[in-house]
Structure 1
Amino acid sequence: MDETEIRGLVIAALLHDIGKFMQRTGVPHDPRYDRLTGEDYGQHGAHAKWGASFVSSCLPDPYIEDLILYHHNPPRSSHPVQAKIIQDADHLSSAMDRRTRESKGKVAEEPLESIFPSISFTRERSEKTPPPERVYPLKPLSISRDAFPVSRREIDLWKLTPAYRTLWEDFASSCNRLDNPPPIGTLLALLKKYTSAIPSAVYVNRPDIPLYDHAKTTAAIAHCLAASTEENPFLLIQGDLSGIQNFIYGIVTPEDARKRMAKRLRGRSYWLSLLMDAVAQEISREFGLFEPSVLWNTGGNFAILAPNTPTNRDSVETIARRVNQRLLERYGGRLFLAVGMLTCSRSEIESFSDTLERLSHKTGIAKTQKFIDCEISFEPRGENWPIEGCCPSCGERLEPETGRCQVCDLHERIGQKIARARYQVRGSGLPIAFEDLGLRTSYDLTPDIPATRGLTAALSINSTDFPIEGDLTHGFIFLGNTVPTVGDRVLSFGEMARFARGSQRLGVIKADVDNLGRIFAFGLPEEQRTISRIHTLSTKLEFFFSGYLNSICREFLLYHDLCAGCRERATRKISVTTTDDEGIERKETYYEIERPCDECARKSLSPFYITYSGGDDLLIIGPWDAAILLAGRINDEFRRFTCNNPDITLSAGVAVATPRLPVGRAVAKADRLLERAKESGKNRIVLFDECLIWDDTGYAERGYNTLITTAREIEQATSSKKISKSFVYTLLVLWNQTFDDLKSCSIEEETKERIRRKRFVPYLKYVMKRHAKTRDDLESLERLVQPVFPWIRFPVYWTSLRLREERR
């Protein structure tokens, strides 16, 4: 097949089931197809008449229309070979996925079910106990709670036909504005927006696979079947970037590199994500792939499904070797691109999670053999220059004429642009380029789409509303881009620390999903571990960590430049004095207020800095007390997003540090705390040297949610003079006398011993009685302190830091 035929085939594969969407609206199909019967369109293929009608009216193309109409019965097609490819791709993508049901489903009444309740590592639970039914509202995709699964009764709409019709009208209206032939990336973005909450199959199958994921994987598989020359038609490629954390936080001279560090860190993180996209784009361009072939590209890891040919296999090795050679020369081995390849048969694509696990193993081996195929010279080369000529941040040579570091300047510009950018544009000749690494794609972050030659794509950031017209690829991406800004100025870490109550410190949150590799490999029942569901899991997690995380951070807001009326109602006023690079002193005032007026509501900022988020992990920096609260909100929302499945959990570490501490050391501390949470059984948060479960257990172990409530109550009581600071300090002394010897125990032994030991009770009662003024005060104090005393350190540290008065 030539390129035009393959392009049409990929579009037909993307739209092969679009007729199901149109059919569920109750809108009639083209009268031309009235005469067709099951003998024409095939068994279970009636929806093809609606699909062909859609193509005929919106994207007229007889070739694509024919393939969609007969993809269930290829012999009737004018292009039987291509129609058979789509039929096979359809089956490989979903036929083995679909969980048959005892009774027939009702298309007009059953919304998309969440896949998360099906995840289980306990075979007894998944076989004997049916997962709870959690479904998605039938709405366009957006960064909101509309994308969260809810119980069936919460939808409050038993007949879905009106909702389908409203959704279809918007989708069809958008498609009518597409060029013909349409940019495949734009068409894919429209499918993602409008079909991510639509089940791909209902009548005889469980409706738990979104139409978008099924359409995308079908298109990727069809391209491989059409273009491969091998018996095993699929080449699965994985890229994994190694050395990310050391690259972002490795600072040569921390004291000299503090200025503009916040922007530089965010810029480095985003530069790395663009690097991985540039590698994926290079592979796609070399192979002639379209957007559906990149299964995912997030968190420094991508997966591509490509046709298996000798040329493609050689090209992957050539690209990986070229990039790593340049990374070695440019960055001295700090970054390494591990690439794994695996040729796959049709049966191996059907059992996709097993195949993905084998590919991850090969990529892991590549990580242990860094730069093995590169030319490495052990002879001294280059030239000597004085240390004063080196960048204090990254160690690169400063430009002799300007005394500036080009690398750090680029990262700072990226960090500055992220906060205000509405689009990520891609093409050639753009400011963020990777030509020195042998990659042809370049990028920029812009408030508007520029009229620049060489532009190939413009992606809206965190908004599913995007332009459609033209031959440029349009779409959207989710990006953790929450940054505290005032105007065009990004606040420094020192300013962010001033937003904390009491002690002016920063909190560094590091968190990720527990057992993610196990979830992908073994979480689903064996017969369901195929490409559509694995892709669905990846898509859902990416939405939460790259997109919805911004919404959680926006729950904590400060305001600046309030009107007089709002200033009077503000509950807190924060004055911050800073000195800029030119030595000019700047004074800013920020406010906390519950309901500002509409005008002042536009002057908000979140106090958090998302350094990176995506895939399954995150790193966020903010005021220490708000960071601790944010960690709890993230876990609460993640539990709700994953239907409270006990086998899908989150672990976190929160490091509290002075803003004068080099940020790399603060991040390393948070990383150690996260590792401790993982080693202690997972599903935990570690902070203030306490390893806590998130929620209380039935065995009297107290969790984060109970203790943060206790902490705030003790803080309030202390602040209002109901109890004294000395009493709070006495609680810590008594805790140390009772439990300090447990530091060397395992978390299980320590927890049991904390619950068992009661020798603190007499003295605790004595201390409480001395501090209580009345019997009611004593009873209130006992209810507050005694049940949580074995974990009282967290509330004590919280109260101490929140009420501390520091010299400015």
Structure 2
Amino acid sequence: MTKPSATDVALQITQQAIAVLAEWAGVTLPPECIGSGEDAVVRRVKQMLGWPDGGQPQPLRLLFDGVNLGRGQTEKHYWQAKAIADEDPQIYYPQTEPPNLEPLRVEVKTALGSISGGDWQNLSVLTLILEKFGSYLSFGEADIALVDLAKSAGAVATALASHPDSDRLSLIAGDLSGIQKFIYTITADGALKSLRARSFFLELVLEEVVQQLLEALNLLRPNVIYAGGGNLYIVASGDREKVTDTVQQVRTRFNDWLLDNYQGKIFLALDVLDFPVAAVGTGSFGAYWSDATKKLAEQKSRKFENHINKLLAVKTSYTPCRVCHRDDSPNLKPLNQYEPDSPIACGNCRQMFELGGQLLRVEAILRSRQKDLPKQPKGTIEIKLGSDSIYYHLFNDSQQIPDVSEAETVFLVNDWQIDKYRPNYHTMPLLLGNYGKESEVEPGQFMRAGEMAATAIGIERLGYLRMDADQLGRIFAEGLGDKKTLPRVAGLSRQMSYFFKVYLNSLAKWRNKNCPAKMQRLTEDTRPTLMFIYAGGDDLFVSGAWNEVIEFAFDVYQCFRAYTGNNPDITLSGGVSIEDVKFPLYQAAESSKQAEKAAKGNGRDSFGLFGEKFKWEEWLGIKDATIIDEDVRAYLSVEKSQPELWGVLPLVQALWDSKLELNYARSFVRNLLLTAELQKQMLKKVQEKQVDMDWRAIRYYLHLPKIAYTLARLPSQIRDRDDFAPVRTSLKSPYNAPYFRAIATWLELLNRT
């Protein structure tokens, strides 16, 4: 009996998933879209993964509800039944009631009504349709999306195609180590542009690792369970010798190139673990996923161990590059050839600077082995592995791409328009966190740092935000308990990727329609002056006008919590630094990193800003007193009541909305800062045992005389207003004493001219 090809089995499974959608929507597919049979390997895989023959799509339960790291979720949530929009997809948040499926059924019926025989044989088109309409419907188990079940089945069946009776598979895991060192440690004019280019470049490097593995192992895109944030996971065949040799060859080729061109700042850890086929449908799969990840940690502790001679070889030293500081490049030239005083830079840094100027509105990328094309791209990136060069050509529109061959691949950036996937059988979406606003000074370029700072309210400063998910490794390793099947792990990865790579773009561009109800925020402004330097995996680095960056941080946290059903075990921590336009960007990145680190050290689920670190609820407004330390609650129990406005944002918002006349506002803020400084100095003396006092008395009651004096200095028409009463009483409350510095600093920056 002839063995099916990888394409045959992937196509069969995807066609069957589309047929499920068609039957559910009441669509009669044309005769050329009727399957001719089912290979044995497809039947085997469907049985292992619990594919329900004759089943119908149902409402999709929230997979995040199943994550439990000790606290766990107490409510049941469902995803809204929606299709992914063609572009800028809106964030749809889970709800507690099962959704109405009828509107989505109508959309599916319309989309599948025009499907053709050519579409039926086009894996790219069918996969996109499946992702577009099957991401928020369950099939089989209630928390497994149709798209995740079908893609997982496709991955396993494709891996088994060459060995249908095998009882083993391989899990390839990869990690680009050193991303932060490569991206952030640069200094020079135009650093913002260069950082964004470096982030984009690393996305393509990771993509090329994936492409090299797929080509060498005769695998397809469904085999890629996850690729993003510098990490990749691919399901491959159980041919241990072939897979191991291929992984070693790919790892060696990339690390040779990375060492030669980037001084070893980036290292590719790539390894493989074999596991039983049957594990894909059981909770034991998660253990193999974790074991594969642990193997990467071992490699990262021995970076470039096969290149010791090259690392220790004596090299000629030249004038260091003023951007990345490497001193092994003799060919230094001005970073910006159009500016006479531009710093001298190496070839790589000049390439990144040039690339940074080409990324605005890049919507299509052609991967090819051809350097020269009939149509000129706006930019090209070369990845040279030994004697083999791969070119990524950048275009503003997919229609600009010339006819492509079987060996070439087209990537469409954040694009779900079905018609764009029809011309070429090798077209796939590329998810990128790439929001940025166009410069008014340099049309066709992203806004420069000075432009963004000039749009800020109050002081002209830039903000730099770093955030990432807390305990993501544990979430994948332990969170799903005995339900860590391949489809669920794939679903968890997909939903995280969509939030950080897709939905954050929409949140930045269209704030009001992407925020959940009952958001806590200072203003209703659109806050568009942001630039994504990096967003992917489970973290982000964003710059922009300082006040907009802070509001964006608050939005991201609240949106992420709503997106994950407010599961107490799935949280974010982050930090913001606020700097002058001329402040070196690499130092700003380090400052925001330290703010984020301080937040993580505060028990996670925290935010660092203005030199302070508090739980997010303390920033947004405290509703549950248990957020406060138990000993402090006991100490303050003598208070008759808790304040009406409790936390940083509620008081900042109330004071900002009160429209204090500028001189009064400055005096008020100055007194708050003096109070906070007095607290700090007295607490330091207690800590150093210079004074014998209860630190809690200083922390929570020292402010009262100064606050009473400050409030008394306000004009009576403000002080005695009914709507100002909550501000007056809340500021006097000892519960708000820890937040004075943050409140005062925020208001001071808003009022600074």
- TM-score over 0.5 for the pair: yes
Which runs of structure 2 are paired with 1:461-472 in the superposition (5 Å)?
461-466=413-418, 467-472=420-425
Q: 2:610 aligns with which of 676, 684, 688?
A: 688
Counterpart among 255, 271, 287 of residue 324 in structure 1: 255
Query: C-alpha separation between the residues in 2 aligned to 1:367 and 1:92?
Result: 34
Deviation of the 1:324 alpha carbon? 1.0
**Which whole-Å CA distance do the structure 2 matches of 1:230 and 1:745 have between them?**
72
* SS, match of residue 546 in structure 1: helix
Contact 1:510 1:619 in 2 (8 A): yes
Report the Cα distance in structure 2 between the residues aligned to 1:311 and 1:756, rounded to whole angstroms. Answer: 65
Separation (CA, whole Å) in 2 of partners of 1:92 and 1:554: 42
- Matching residue's letter, 1:317: Q
**Is the counterpart of residue 475 in structure 1 residue 431 in structure 2?**
no
Cα offset, 1:478, TM superposition: 2.3
Closer/same/farther in 2, CA of residues 476 and 190 from structure 1, 3 Å limit: same
Partner residue of 2:144?
A: 209
Q: Measure the CA separation in 1 of the matches of 2:393 and 2:741.
A: 48
Asked if the contact 1:422/1:448 (under 8 Å) is kept, the reply is yes
Residue of structure 2 equivalent to 1:573: none
How far apart are the structure 1 equivalents of 2:544 and 2:645? 19
* Deviation digits for residues 392-433 of structure 1 (CA, Å, limit 9, x no counterpart): 445344367987743223323332232211212222225212
Tell whether 2:72 aligns with 1:132.
Answer: no
Alpha-carbon contact 1:458-1:474 (below 8 Å) kept: yes
Q: Once the two structures are superposed, what CA deviation does each residue of 1:566-592 show, in whole Å capped at 9, x if it has no partner?
A: xxxxxxxxxxxxxxxxxxxxxxxxxx9
Match of 1:19 in 2: 19
Q: Structure 1: where are the runs of 5+ without partners?
A: 29-53, 68-81, 99-104, 558-591, 595-603
Instruction: Give the Cα separation in 1 of the matches to 2:495 and 2:732.
Output: 42
Tell me whether 1:427 sits opposite 2:365 in the alignment. Answer: no
Cα distance 1:294–1:614, how it changes in 2: closer, same or farther (>3 A)? Answer: same
Superposed, 1:368-387 pairs within 5 Å as: 368-374=301-307, 376-377=309-310, 380-381=313-314, 383-387=316-320
Please show how residues 705-720 of structure 1 align to structure 2 within 5 Å: 706-717=647-658, 719-720=660-661
User: Are residues 717 and 723 of structure 1, via their aligned partners in 2, closer, same or farther at CA, if it must alter by over 3 Å?
Assistant: farther
Q: 2:563 aligns with which of 627, 630, 641?
A: 641
Q: Amino acid of the residue matched to residue 451 of structure 1?
A: P
Aligned positions, number: 683
Equivalence map 1:671-750=2 (5 Å): 671-695=593-617, 696=622, 697-699=624-626, 701=628, 706-717=647-658, 719-721=660-662, 723-742=664-683
Deviation (angstroms), 1:655: 0.8
SS of 2:742's equivalent in the other structure is helix
**1:444 is the counterpart of 2:393:** yes
Residue by residue over 1:209-255, the C-alpha shift from the partner in whole angstroms, topping out at 9 and shown as x without a partner, is: 1111110110110122222499552110111011111111222xx3x
Provide, for residues 493-552 of structure 1, a one-character-per-residue CA deviation record: whole Å limited to 9, x for no partner.
1221111122211111000111111111111231x1111011101101111100110122
State how far apart, in whole Å, the 1-side matches of 2:685 and 2:537 are.
Answer: 35
**Is the Cα contact below 8 Å between 2:193 and 2:357 reproduced in 1?**
yes
Q: With structure 2 as the length reference, what TM-score do the two structures score?
A: 0.83
Instruction: Give unmatched runs, 5+ long, in structure 2.
Output: 338-343, 372-379, 513-522, 629-642, 688-693
Which letter does structure 2 place at the counterpart of 1:688? F
Name the SS for the 2:365 alignment partner.
Answer: strand
Say yes or no: does 1:798 pair with 2:746. yes
Change (3 A) 1:501 1:6: closer
What is the CA–CA distance in structure 1 between the aligned matches of 2:750 and 2:47, rounded to whole Å? 59
Change (3 A) 1:474 1:229: closer
Residue in 2 that maps onto 1:580: none
Instruction: Give distance in 2, aligned partners of 1:801 and 1:420.
Output: 33
The alignment yields a C-alpha RMSD, in angstroms, of 3.3
SS in 2 for 1:656: strand
Counterparts in 2 of 1:419 and 1:543: CA distance versus 1, 3 Å: same
Aligned residue number for residue 47 of structure 1: none
Question: Do the aligned partners of residues 58 and 471 (structure 1) sit closer, same or farther apart at CA in structure 2, a change above 3 Å counting?
Answer: farther
What amino acid sits opposite 2:451 in the alignment? E
What percent of counterpart residues are identical?
A: 25
User: Are 1:521 and 2:469 counterparts?
Assistant: no
Q: Per-residue deviation at 1:180? A: 6.2
Q: Does 1:606 align with 2:528?
A: yes
**Code of the aligned partner of 2:292:** L
Of 66, 78, 88, the match for 1:118: 66
TM-score in terms of structure 1 length: 0.78
Q: Are 1:187 and 2:126 an aligned pair?
A: yes
Cα pair 1:230 1:308 within 8 Å, conserved: no
Amino acid at match of 2:94: P
Alpha carbons of structure 1 residues 741 and 521: separation in structure 2 relative to 1, 3 Å:
farther
For residues 686 and 706 of structure 2, what CA distance do their matches in structure 1 show? 25
CA contact (8 A) 1:136 1:147 kept: yes
Look up the SS of the partner of 2:118 in the other structure. coil
Closer, same or farther: CA 3–170 of 1 in aligned 2, 3 Å: same
1:624, 1:636 → 2: CA distance? 19
1:408 aligned residue (335, 339, 349): 349
In structure 1, what is the equivalent of residue 199 of structure 2? Answer: 269
One of 454, 466, 485 as aligned partner of 2:438: 485
Within the candidate set 460, 465, 468, 2:412 is matched to 460
Matching residue's letter, 1:20: V
Please tell me whether residue 657 in structure 1 is matched to residue 579 in structure 2. Answer: yes
Supply the AA of the counterpart residue of 1:176.
S
Q: Which residue of 1 aligns with 2:47?
A: 91
SS at match of 1:199: strand
Residues 473 and 141 of structure 1, relative CA distance in 2, 3 Å threshold: same
Who is 1:359 aligned against? 292
Deviation of residue 88 (structure 1)?
A: 2.2
Partner of 1:581: none
Letter in 2 for 1:187: L
- Distance verdict in 2 for CA 1:290–1:505, change over 3 Å: same
- Supply the distance in 2 between the matched residues of 1:421 and 1:410 (Cα, whole angstroms): 17
One-letter identity of the residue aligned with 2:433? G
Check whether the contact 1:200–1:210 (CA below 8 A) recurs between aligned residues: yes
| Partners of 1:278 and 1:442 within 8 A in 2 | no
Q: 1:263 to 1:767 in 2, by over 3 A?
A: closer
Contact 2:184 2:586 in 1 (8 A): yes
Q: Distance in 2 between matches of 1:593 and 1:699?
A: 30
Q: One-letter code of the match for 1:698?
A: A
Equivalent position to 1:167, from 108, 113, 117: 108
